[in-house]
Amino acid sequence: MEIPETNQTAGKPAPEHAIAPGAAPVLDDALRTGAAPGSGHAPIPETASVPDDVPQRETLANGTPVYITKSHRFGQDALLLAHFCGVRSRETVCDLGCGCGVIALRWHDRGHRGPCLAVELSPGAAALARRAAGEAGAAHITVQNCDLRDAKTLRPCAQTCSLVACNPPYFTGGILSPDPARAAARHTLSCTMEDVCAAAFLLLRDGGRLCVCQRPERLADVLCAMRAARIEPKRLQLVAARPEKAPWLVLIEGQKNRAPGLRVLPTFITTRADGTPSRKMLEIYGQAQERACQPEAE
């Protein structure tokens, strides 16, 4: 699955508050004491300090590397989205705005071996994803440095994907970060939900799935953009730190050219009463038993 490369300079790194997979003591301490600034939501632990532009190596549960920099990191939301997708082992998939590649690499870490296209606007982030995929021997992952808004560039892969995932920018307004990479990550400067849905509709087979994550206050935007692009919302799950807390994330799945009918799943709880990660979160972090990628249906 190959599409032409472009020379874009703005990118979508992952959120500022990144996770060190497998770092249980750091994770537990952060969950007990900290939260995303100003959110009032679930704490999102940070990795150790990352020097500017110096790649640091993280390792997923089964040994797959992920390279991050100060500008291109990943957070709890990316891991939750990768898990929510329920990717099958041999299906053709795509991660739009892949950043450092953590979603595609997490799929690989859990056993996915089908064709995987990882699209990223930032040359620096794409290089990190390509490096990790090469080191992992993940020849089935193709990292392309291109703009998801360019339909001409994506057209060679039209109607080939069973699944498209995207962790899009969350904010439509507010104060922009002075770091252009972080500003692009958090604000819809180079990618709107309408852009994501249009690209997904082009890439997906009939009945194929688009999975995204977003802040709950933007849920209506996601549902409206999906339906306008003929991607019908079919599955929704809220994520909260505790049952009594307001959700801080929503996961949504839509299907191309399908009839209405939305299934709402039980809220995903990330922490226990004592502040330690829930069993489901430990599964996602690879610190408890979790099912690998689902085999292809007979």
Is 60 among the domain residues?
yes
Is 196 among the domain residues?
yes
Q: In this structure, which amino acid lies at residue 206?
A: D
Task: Show the CA angle centred on residue 218, arms to residues 211 and 255, nearest 5°.
Answer: 25
Q: How many domains does the chain have?
A: 1
The CA distance from 205 to 198, in Å, is 13
Is 295 among the domain residues?
no
- What would the pLDDT profile of 237-249 be if each residue is shown by its tens digit? 999 999 999 999 9
The pTM for the full model equals: 0.79
Partners of 209 in beta bridges: 163, 255
CATH number at residue 140: 3.40.50.150
- What would the pLDDT profile of 63-89 be if each residue is shown by its tens digit? 999 999 999 999 999 999 999 999 999
SS3 161: strand
Say what the pLDDT of residue 7 is. Answer: 36
Say what the pLDDT of residue 65 is. Answer: 98
Is 19 among the domain residues?
no
Range of the domain at 54: 24-285
97: buried, middle or exposed (CB in 10 Å: 19+, 13-18, 0-12)? buried
SS3 148: coil
Contact 176, 187 (CB under 8 A): yes
- HSE-up (13 A, CA, CB side) for residue 239: 25
Q: Which residues contact 40 (CB under 8 A, 6 or more apart)?
A: 246, 248
Is 296 among the domain residues?
no
**Average pLDDT of the chain?**
81
**pLDDT confidence tier of residue 22, bands split at 50, 70 and 90:** very low
Contact 17, 45 (CB under 8 A): yes
**pLDDT confidence tier of residue 286, bands split at 50, 70 and 90:** confident
Q: Which of 137-146, 158-167, 170-179, 248-257 has the lowest mean pLDDT?
A: 170-179
DSSP string of 56-123, one letter each residue: EEEE-TTS-EEEE-SSSB--HHHHHHHHHH--BTT--EEEET-TTSHHHHHHHHTT--S-EEEEES-H
Is 53 among the domain residues?
yes
Is 278 among the domain residues?
yes
